[in-house]
A and B are shown apart, each in its own frame.
Chain A
Amino acid sequence: MDLLLQLMMNGLVNGSHYALLGIGFGLIFATTKLVHFAYGPIYAATAYVCWYSFMQLGLPFWAAFGLCVIAAIVLGLLSYLIVYRPLQSRSDSGLVTLIASLGLYTVIENLLGVIFGTGVKSVQGIDSDVFFLGPVFVTSFQLMQIAALILVGGALALFLRFTRYGQAIMAMTDNAEMAQIVGIDTRFVALLVFAIGSAIAAVPAVLILLKDSAGTHMGFSAVFLAFLSVVVGGIGSLRGAVAGGFLIGFVESAGLWQISTDWQSSIAFIILFLMLMLRPDGLFGVKR
């Protein structure tokens, strides 16, 4: 029983991480209809910028964090302006931008290796505390992952619900052409979601850097799980991305109770397969 409780706590922590990745990736995907696989290496790049600023330049941690958020926004905007937008204006085919996103993924990942080296980077000097909640233990970094989801997800929900451009994002997510018809500058909204979605990626990236370490290939699992959270939760739904992230996190952890850890990655695939079979629009997806 104690093991199961611990696994549920781990599911909550991992689910928060997946959900945070999902809402950033999903915001871009739902609004622009671009499957931005380069979100993965951008996530990795932000961890590297934070590591470099803190460990190599000796900047205070919060300054390093601020720099990595800026780096994420710049990389996200450049991806859209240099790669996706020119291709979208030439072709309506989603396949073209999908292939471009995979190419961009490879380029950014390789650049990270060239600039920072391929070795694993970790942060020293910031230690984690351990707390016991009865039989369950949790670290301060894990608690920060849960808190980050509450803060970022809450702020994004308020932005979408109560601001003019939040409503514009909701409108474009629903129907991009109608958004143009009512006078929304959809190109600006696309830039806005790339900026916000990329900035969100910096938060889980830095928390993983603190908790574990950063590696050039860390972007693959990140974007894969973000994509899964969005599809399982329902494209276009913030709460769907959160629910999808938690579902994957909990089922993955619960699976480890009886199944070998070798199967951990496969569990997410099985959830995706079952969801596509039983509920193709996802948990909170809008039927179109």
Chain B
Amino acid sequence: MSDFAIEARGLSAGYAGKTVVHSVDLKLKTGEILLMVGHNGAGKTTSVRAICGLLPVTGGSVHKGARDITNATPASNVGAGLAFVPQGHGVFGSLTVMQNIVLGAFVERDAAKQEERIETVFELFPILKERQKQIAGTMSGGQQQMLAIGMAMMHGPDVLILDEPSIGLAPKFVERVMQSITAINARFGTSILMVEQNLKYAIPVAQRAVVMKTGSIIFDGDPNELTDKVKLMELF
């Protein structure tokens, strides 16, 4: 078994022929929570979207364990156990909560496993059980974020990538979301890569942190070092 759940070597990616991420080396260790921070436009979202197959990798490679997933389709990555929660609310807004949860398990054909995972998601987020018939788009931002994470857990991933899960949420929901990330990591051993700007809530959750600046990683170490404001100012 590889020590790394995800390993990007010399990863380059971008949009419409313009390279945004330049030859990044990024390693997510098996079972850890890795925090990725950086200013707007640093290339965080581009990196994670390229890893998940939502953007083409224009240079380098991406491995999930021993498996080369460079430019694999998102569907193939999901099948391989890689889940992604996109920025904003990654839900199907016109469908019910239950339809969203079931769609989260689209690649899982075993009905018994699906049922088991629905129960797990309801344990993690009891509000979703109460609101299962509600149209997802009518829920609050925090509830939609819980649903998005619940959907990601429905196909039993061993790697979970979250892109700014706290964006636009009230503090009480940010705390709740961070608690759920810790719980998923502790309970299932899921390796988690979290892109986040809200350091106050993210640093206590993370076991390691990387900082991105203009498409490159400029810091890799203890997240608590980022609480030093002088250090943070230097990095940004």
Contacts and interface: CB of A to CB of B under 8 A. Distances in A.
11 contacts: A170-B92, A173-B94, A175-B92, A178-B86, A182-B107, A182-B151, A183-B74, A183-B78, A185-B75, A186-B75, A286-B94
Nearest to B154: A182
A233 to B, nearest CB: 15
B75 A170 contact: no
A184 B75 contact: yes
Interface of A: 164, 167-168, 170-171, 173-175, 177-178, 180-186, 236, 286
A117 to B, nearest CB: 46
Given A177-B54, A177-B86, A182 B95 contact: no
A174 B95 contact: yes
Nearest to A164: B106
B210 to A, nearest CB: 23
What 8 pairs across the A-B complex have the smallest Cβ distances?
A: A183-B78, A183-B107, A180-B74, A174-B92, A286-B94, A185-B75, A183-B75, A183-B106
A252 B40 CA distance: 54
Given A177-B86, A181-B54, A181-B86, A170 B95 contact: yes
Given A167-B103, A168-B106, A181 B74 contact: yes
Given A182-B78, A183-B74, A183-B75, A174 B151 contact: no
A43 to B, nearest CB: 28
Interface string B107-123: 10000000000000000
Nearest to A172: B92
Given A167-B106, A171-B92, A181-B86, 4 more contacts: A170-B99, A177-B54, A178-B92, A181-B84
A286 B86 CA distance: 22
Contacts of B99: 167, 170
B195 interface: no
